C-alpha cells in the first residue's frame, strides 16, 4: 500500500512505484552492464529528440548525430524562448511537470519534464536519502527554504509540506528573534533531519554557537543534515557538525535535472549516474580526463518532454581520478562560470577566491555573521556584511593584505554593514557577483 507522499505523486500522474522499481534495477547493474545501459540511453534520448523535438533538431543542424562529441552544447541562452517552442511532440502544458529555475546563474528559464522523468527524480532522492536511514513517507523534515509570499503559491507550498511530512522554516528573515522561534520548534518537535540552503543553516548554527547550544541536545531525534543549493565551505561544515551535533551531508542538484551529486556515507560526493550522464569539458568542448578542472555538462537520460542533452549547467568542477563509470565521484565544485572576476592585470580569478580569503579573516572573532562580495568595476569590490559591530581597521587591513598576496595590488574595497542581506525570491544568498 502506498504511503501519503507516494500516493500524492501517484494520484497526480507521477508513476513513483514504477520509478522506484526501475531505479533499483539500474543501481544493481554491474560495471559492464552499466556501461552498456548508459550508451544505450544516450543514443535513445538523442534519437527521440531528433525525431520528436523541432527545437533540438534545429539546434543540432547538420552535425553528425552518430558521434556524441559532435553534438552541440546546450546552454541557458538557448533556452530563453517560450516553453511551448521547446516541448517534444505529444507533450503539452497539461501533461508535463513544469517549473522555473531560480535564476542564480543569471539566466532563469521555465523547463519541463515528462511525468515519468519527474517521478524518477523523486525516486533518486528517496534512494539517496535512504543511505542515511531516512524515509520520505515517515521521516520528519526541518526544511530551511524560501516560500512564495502570494496567497495561492504559499498555500500550495504548505500543502506540499504537509504531504511530504516536513515543517518549513521560512528564511527571508533570519534575525535573532526569528532564530529563537526556530529553536522553540526544535525543542517541541521530533525532527528526523534538516534539509535546506547552506547559508541559512550556517547562520542558524552561528546563533546556536553564541548561545552555547548543540541542537541534538534539545532535539535528540535528529539524525542528519543535508545542505544544498549553495557552496559548503570546510570550516562551515565543521561549525555545523559541532553546533548541530549530527553528520552533515553535501548535496548538489539542479531543479531542471535531478540530484547531480550526493555525499555518500563514505564521505565521497557520488555523482548520479542512474538518471544523468555527467561530462567535464574544456573551453573547446573536449572531454577532460578525471582529475582535470572544467565545465560541468550534463545529459538527462530520461526526459522526453524537453531535451537536456550535453547541457552546460554553468558550473565548474572536477571528477575525481578514482571515478569509474558506475560510480563517478565529484572531487570539487569550484563555482559558476559566470562568477569569474577579471582583474586590471588581465588575470581571471574565480569570484569565490575573494570569498575564501575574506571569510577566514572577518569571521575570526565571530562578529560577522554572513557577507557577500560584488565586483562593481574592474578594480572595485563592494563587501556587504551583517555583524554586531563595524569591521575595524585592523580587520580591513588584513583583508587588503591577503588580497594583495593571493591576487594583485591596487584593488579597491568598500565595506557596508547591513542589518540583513538580500536573498533571491527562493531565499538563496549569492555569495559573489560580478557586474563587469
Here the cell at position 200 is: 541559512
Question: pLDDT value at position 1?
Answer: 47
Looking at per-residue confidence, does 343 or 107 come out higher? 343
Question: pLDDT value at position 297?
Answer: 97
Question: Average pLDDT of 157-180?
Answer: 83
Q: What percent of the chain has pLDDT over 90?
A: 54
Looking at per-residue confidence, does 135 or 217 come out higher? 217
Whether residue 156 is predicted with pLDDT greater than 90 in this model: the reply is: no
Exposed e or buried b for every residue in 181-217, given b needs 16+ CB within 10 A?
Answer: ebbeebeeeebbbbbbbbbbbbbbbbbbeeeebebee
List the single range of 104-113, 298-307, 401-410 with lowest mean pLDDT.
104-113
Three-state DSSP class for 40?
Answer: helix
Region of 52 please: left (phi>0), alpha (psi -120 to 50) or beta: alpha
Question: pLDDT value at position 107?
Answer: 59
Question: pLDDT value at position 86?
Answer: 95
pLDDT digits (tens, 9 = 90+) for 330-343: 998 876 655 667 88
Residue 183: pLDDT band (50, 70, 90) is very high
Question: Average pLDDT of 316-329?
Answer: 92
Whether residue 419 is predicted with pLDDT greater than 90 in this model: the reply is: no
Whether residue 402 is predicted with pLDDT greater than 50 in this model: the reply is: yes
What mean pLDDT value characterizes the chain? 88
pLDDT digits (tens, 9 = 90+) for 15-28: 999 999 999 999 99
Whether residue 299 is predicted with pLDDT greater than 90 in this model: the reply is: yes
Looking at per-residue confidence, does 50 or 386 come out higher? 50
Beta bridge partners of 327: 324
Q: By CB neighbour count within 10 A (0-12 exposed, 13-18 middle, 19+ buried), where does 68 fall?
A: middle
Say what the pTM is. Answer: 0.81
Q: What percent of the chain has pLDDT over 70?
A: 92
pLDDT digits (tens, 9 = 90+) for 348-375: 776 767 776 777 676 655 577 778 888 9
Residues 6+ apart with CB under 8 A from 259: 121, 124, 125, 128, 251, 252, 253, 272
List the single range of 173-177, 186-190, 233-237 with lowest mean pLDDT.
173-177
pLDDT digits (tens, 9 = 90+) for 423-434: 766 666 777 888
Whether residue 146 is predicted with pLDDT greater than 80 in this model: the reply is: no
Question: pLDDT value at position 149?
Answer: 64
Three-state DSSP class for 75?
Answer: coil
Question: pLDDT value at position 221?
Answer: 97
Whether residue 4 is predicted with pLDDT greater than 70 in this model: the reply is: yes
Helix axes 115-129, 16-27, angle to 10 degrees: 60
Whether residue 2 is predicted with pLDDT greater than 60 in this model: the reply is: no
Amino acid at each position: 500500500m502506498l504511503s501519503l507522499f507516494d500516493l500524492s505523486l501517484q494520484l497526480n500522474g507521477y508513476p513513483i512505484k514504477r520509478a522506484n522499481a526501475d531505479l533499483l534495477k539500474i543501481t544493481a547493474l554491474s560495471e559492464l552492464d552499466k556501461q552498456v545501459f548508459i550508451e544505450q540511453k544516450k543514443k535513445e534520448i538523442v534519437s527521440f529528440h531528433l525525431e520528436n523535438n523541432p527545437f533540438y533538431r534545429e539546434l543540432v543542424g547538420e552535425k553528425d548525430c552518430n558521434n556524441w562529441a559532435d553534438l552541440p552544447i546546450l546552454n541557458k541562452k538557448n533556452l530563453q524562448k517560450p516553453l511551448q517552442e521547446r516541448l517534444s511532440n505529444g507533450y503539452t502544458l497539461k501533461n508535463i511537470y513544469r517549473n522555473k529555475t531560480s535564476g542564480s546563474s543569471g539566466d532563469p528559464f521555465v523547463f519541463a519534464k515528462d511525468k515519468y522523468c519527474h517521478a524518477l527524480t523523486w525516486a533518486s532522492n528517496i534512494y539517496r536519502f535512504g543511505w542515511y536511514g531516512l524515509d520520505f513517507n515517515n521521516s520528519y523534515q526541518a526544511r530551511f527554504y524560501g516560500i512564495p509570499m502570494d496567497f495561492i503559491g504559499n498555500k500550495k507550498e504548505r500543502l506540499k509540506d504537509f504531504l511530504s511530512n516536513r515543517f518549513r522554516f521560512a528564511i527571508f528573515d533570519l534575525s535573532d528573534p526569528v532564530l529563537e522561534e526556530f529553536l522553540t520548534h526544535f525543542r517541541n518537535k521530533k525532527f528526523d533531519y534538516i534539509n535546506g540552503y547552506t547559508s541559512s543553516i550556517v547562520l542558524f548554527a552561528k546563533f546556536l554557537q553564541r548561545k552555547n547550544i548543540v541542537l541534538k541536545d534539545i532535539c535528540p531525534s535528529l539524525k542528519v543534515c543535508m545542505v544544498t543549493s549553495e557552496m559548503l565551505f570546510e570550516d562551515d561544515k565543521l561549525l555545523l557538525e559541532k553546533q548541530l551535533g549530527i553528520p552533515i551531508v553535501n548535496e548538489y542538484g539542479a531543479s531542471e535535472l535531478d540530484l547531480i551529486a550526493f555525499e555518500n556515507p563514505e564521505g565521497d560526493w557520488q555523482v548520479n549516474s542512474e538518471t544523468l550522464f555527467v561530462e567535464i569539458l574544456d573551453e573547446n568542448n573536449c572531454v577532460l580526463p578525471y582529475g582535470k578542472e572544467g565545465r560541468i555538462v550534463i545529459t538527462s537520460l530520461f526526459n522526453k518532454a524537453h531535451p537536456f542533452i550535453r547541457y552546460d549547467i554553468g558550473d565548474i568542477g572536477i571528477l575525481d581520478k578514482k571515478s569509474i563509470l558506475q560510480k563517478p565521484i565529484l572531487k570539487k565544485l569550484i563555482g559558476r562560470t559566470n562568477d569569474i572576476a577579471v582583474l586590471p592585470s588581465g588575470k581571471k580569478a574565480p569570484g569565490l577566491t575573494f570569498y575564501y580569503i575574506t571569510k577566514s579573516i572577518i569571521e575570526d572573532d565571530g562578529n560577522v555573521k554572513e557577507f557577500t562580495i560584488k565586483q562593481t568595476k574592474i578594480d572595485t569590490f563592494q563587501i556587504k556584511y551583517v555583524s554586531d559591530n563595524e569591521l575595524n581597521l585592523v580587520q580591513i587591513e588584513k583583508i587588503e593584505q591577503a588580497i594583495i598576496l593571493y591576487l594583485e595590488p591596487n584593488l579597491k574595497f568598500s565595506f557596508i554593514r547591513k542589518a540583513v542581506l538580500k536573498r533571491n525570491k527562493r531565499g538563496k544568498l549569492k555569495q559573489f557577483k560580478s557586474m563587469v
